[in-house]
Chains A and B, each alone.
Chain A
């Protein structure tokens, strides 16, 4: 009885969370301009999404989003991993200070990050565009990388690195062969998190993108929504992104579940 009740509860919450997404996906299979009008089943929106042409600016915005996300996540992962190694090797006082500093961008609401960076770029007179958006994204992504790499360092056996050095490995070689394999899980989850935050960001991007016509998916949708209607092709696009992410996460889940079983078997 209790189980049925709790399952029903979770089910209802999930239905609530997924209802709008389902609507988007269902209405991606009809041609109507307005979300919510059903004018018969058709694949036309999927076709026009891929043939481009008319919706050149949408494809552009999508590419910009991916490129910005990729660069920002890569730089954050490198910067954050180095920072984490540094923080781990500091004395307690400095470590606390840097870790506190590291939480500031996390605690800052988007709009404060956005406005403060906007004021910075305007004050030094940098014209806003690709570079400023990427710098802004690195700013709010890196702290999360640091937080996901640090636990790996704490679990690592410090003696291994020292042993490698004693056995004649150069620091670089020891870093590559001993440290990196241990840090890889943290770096990967940090990278994925950074990429997600970057492609999903709207507020910081909007303030720092300038007015040279550069658009990411978020700013494109915002401009669209303010004009009154959503470009219909966004429906199939969101649907596709959703399914891709779903499959990706399910595969990861499968793999980690298998790994758990293996680990348990080993004990």
Chain B
């Protein structure tokens, strides 16, 4: 007992419970995904699941389609979100605080209800439920995740750099293109991560927004797990994990630090 007490008397040991927790509930479960992905129903090592994925055009197509939807949504969020973040970062701080609250507030209404309400809105405006409504619904759900990191980043960049550019005779457009934009790349890239990844992995939103007409990869994953095809489902999860790892590697080049802390509140 005394030994235990003196062990935890050292403050650097205080994170040990959490490390053990992470081991049990993050590392081991991820290991299980890999394990299930590379075994067949009998528990033998095999590549059947991946062969199945490559030979089934349906799953493959859904995967490519989801990545496409993810890219389009991310791009639209970026185009809509960047100006908003830019405007907010140039305002008086008491007004921006209120605006920031206004932009996160919708996230407190359950996202399924918001999605269903969006469907009602489309019905109201006589917009048919399909690809357009899907993309709009996604943009609507994930736009705040794009505005936030960019806003945080722009807010923190050194204003004297843009002033220096102005003093040296740059036009406003040049100032933006040559100083503001390059300096905000870390914010943009963490915004991209925070939109692209959830979009390709959601399920439910797509079903609800298109009356089950369009299926995204997340839904394929869920269906397989629900129908007891754990091995195949795990293999599909691993493929998604790989895609995400690639995206975050591409993203983290050069701005690993800002992505970790900048985006969150």
Contact = CB atoms under 8 A, between A and B. Distances in A.
Interface of A: 6, 9-10, 13-14, 16-21, 23-24, 27, 35-36, 79-80, 82-91, 94, 98-99, 101-112, 115-120, 122-123, 135-136, 138-139, 142, 144, 146-148, 171, 189, 193, 196, 200, 202-203, 207, 217-218, 221-222, 225, 230, 234, 238, 241-242, 245-246, 249-250, 253, 256-257, 260
Contacts of A90: 12, 15
Contact of A102 (B10, B22, B109): B22
A222 B203 CA distance: 11
Contacts of B101: 249-250, 253
B230 interface: yes
Residue of A6, A19, A107, A257 most packed against chain B (CB within 10 A): A107
B237 A115 contact: yes
Given A17-B140, A86-B11, A222-B204, A107 B198 contact: no
Given A86-B15, A112-B240, A105 B26 contact: yes
Chain B: interface size category:
35 or more
Nearest to B99: A10
A83 B12 CA distance: 9
A237 B107 CA distance: 15
Contact of B108 (A84, A221, A242): A242
Contact of B114 (A21, A80, A89, A139): A21
Given A10-B87, A17-B106, A23-B120, A225 B25 contact: no
B234 interface: yes
Contacts of B17: 79, 82-83
A218 B116 CA distance: 13
A119 B140 contact: no
B80 A107 contact: no
Given A23-B124, A139-B25, A250-B101, A85 B113 contact: no
A9 to B, nearest CB: 6
Interface string B171-208: 00000000000000000000001000110111110001
B265 interface: yes
B33 A115 contact: yes
Given A20-B117, A221-B110, 17 more contacts: A17-B103, A21-B109, A80-B18, A83-B17, A86-B13, A101-B19, A103-B260, A109-B244, A116-B32, A119-B32, A119-B234, A120-B25, A135-B25, A136-B25, A202-B110, A203-B204, A260-B93
B84 A86 contact: no
A116 B29 contact: yes
B121 interface: yes
B120 A115 contact: no
Contacts of B132: none
The 5 closest A-B pairs by CB, nearest first: A86-B15, A116-B29, A83-B18, A20-B117, A86-B14
B233 interface: yes
Contacts of A18: 106
Nearest to B233: A115
Nearest to B118: A20
Contacts of A112: 30, 33, 201, 237, 240-241, 244
